[in-house]
A and B are shown apart, each in its own frame.
Chain A
């Protein structure tokens, strides 16, 4: 880290990016967030300052508490699930079998599928009546499942769909990290007679902390902000079982004519995300 004589140098490097960030990201963010303390009056179109009224009414709203629960529950499952699978896939794709480039290529394909497209494709695949997956289940002698139509399976189905698209992407970041781990480290540890698991714990994992931090933080943020599958597939149902906070915020903004509520929800989400990310940074801090 350098201290420069001319103190303007760092700011000049930051200038172009911050010009863009300030104008097109931070200004809209701030003006949106200010709305969480305002309400728009009907007919007169006057904006009235209401302080924390939007937050207070959220805390008295069972729909909000349910959404908060669903969001935390969803993230509690999907983040470890995706990270574990991505790590496993990265390990698999790091093996020395001959056709590995081919298999790597295949796992990269879903990355190019946009979330709405993935959602619509899987919706048809998972259709409870004669969907392809159910047809396969029936052909295998199992009973058809309701998937997205049941409050006990809908959230899990969305976890699966999002992971179908996401795991390959995140695995590529981790795969890259794995390739950096010097083979000599493995050789040294196997000379000591370490088992595969000990090798993973003492060599692979510590060397992977940096890429893992990147992936863990990105996965967390991405999944906190994920609502397109719920919007397209379930609209938050059945029985509110997939009604994540961002979907509730989206509905408030665009269907319920209530921008104040929508932005208040987002502020709460931002606080939660920040806390989770801070914890993740701490846990994964590389020891230098």
Chain B
């Protein structure tokens, strides 16, 4: 990084990677502007028509927002995701603080349990979890959508790694000054952990943005539908609404990207701090 010369080979590699990354998305974007019966028409052979819609229509997007109520769906998805982010960060970081700071009985066992929670496929626990949520009376409520996923083992794991790296001296001197443990956690540790908090928030957000089977099962009313459930609805028994599916896919990509891109810088710092400074 000392000499700044134009490194064309780096650009070339970057551009090739960018093409591979963007190719299917470009295809989805173009197809979303096509009328339904033209989507497969120009796939072969590859000509300019493969990549540029001959007939441009916003049909798919209009239908999404008018007939399928996409506005409400996006609101729901955000509501669920942000609730999870806020509560998940709070209780996850508290637990991680305990794991990283204290010596206590049963610590290894408890930490192992945390690891197990994200090594088990959610499909297998769906039936007992559904029974439980049903008996709590949370089926078809935001409660049922949000609460079961708040406690997140991966987030605890991530925070713990970061907290382990914080210098003990910091905590010791605060204790000398008579600060309570909660004060240390809230006023000393957390302010130092803004970067890791951003990365943990992204982790939770992406998980919720992608969650699908659980929202489908736990809600029955349309007013609680989330985006991935709707995405799966374009394949019917008899036909697939490719253009609407592509349009919804594009929206489902653009929204998080628009939100997440400005956080990119934070994100990088966030993770960097978990990666040990020796």
Contacts and interface: CB of A to CB of B under 8 A. Distances in A.
Interface of A: 1-4, 7, 9-11, 13-14, 16-21, 23-29, 31-32, 89, 92, 95-97, 101, 103-118, 120-122, 124-125, 130-132, 134-136, 138-139, 164, 168, 172-173, 175-177, 179-180, 183, 207-211, 214, 218, 221, 224-225, 227, 246, 249-250, 253-254, 259, 262-263, 266, 269-270, 273-274, 277, 286, 288
B20 A121 contact: no
B153 to A, nearest CB: 7
B25 A208 contact: no
A11, A124, A177: most-surrounded residue (chain B CB, <10 A): A124
Interface in B144-183: 147-151, 153-154, 156, 158, 161, 165, 168, 171, 181
Given A32-B124, A120-B245, A110 B113 contact: no
B75 to A, nearest CB: 18
Interface residues of B, number: 99
Interface in B198-256: 206, 209-210, 212, 228, 231-232, 235, 245, 249, 252-253, 255-256
Nearest to B130: A28
Interface string B1-42: 100100100110110011011111101100000000000100
A214 B158 contact: yes
- The main secondary structure of chain B at its interface with chain A is helix
B7, B97, B129, B132: most-surrounded residue (chain A CB, <10 A): B129
Contacts of B256: 112
B253 A112 contact: yes
Contact of A273 (B98, B105, B119): B119
A223 B158 CA distance: 18
B24 A97 contact: no
A109 B17 contact: no
Nearest to B90: A16
B158 to A, nearest CB: 7
B24 A21 contact: no
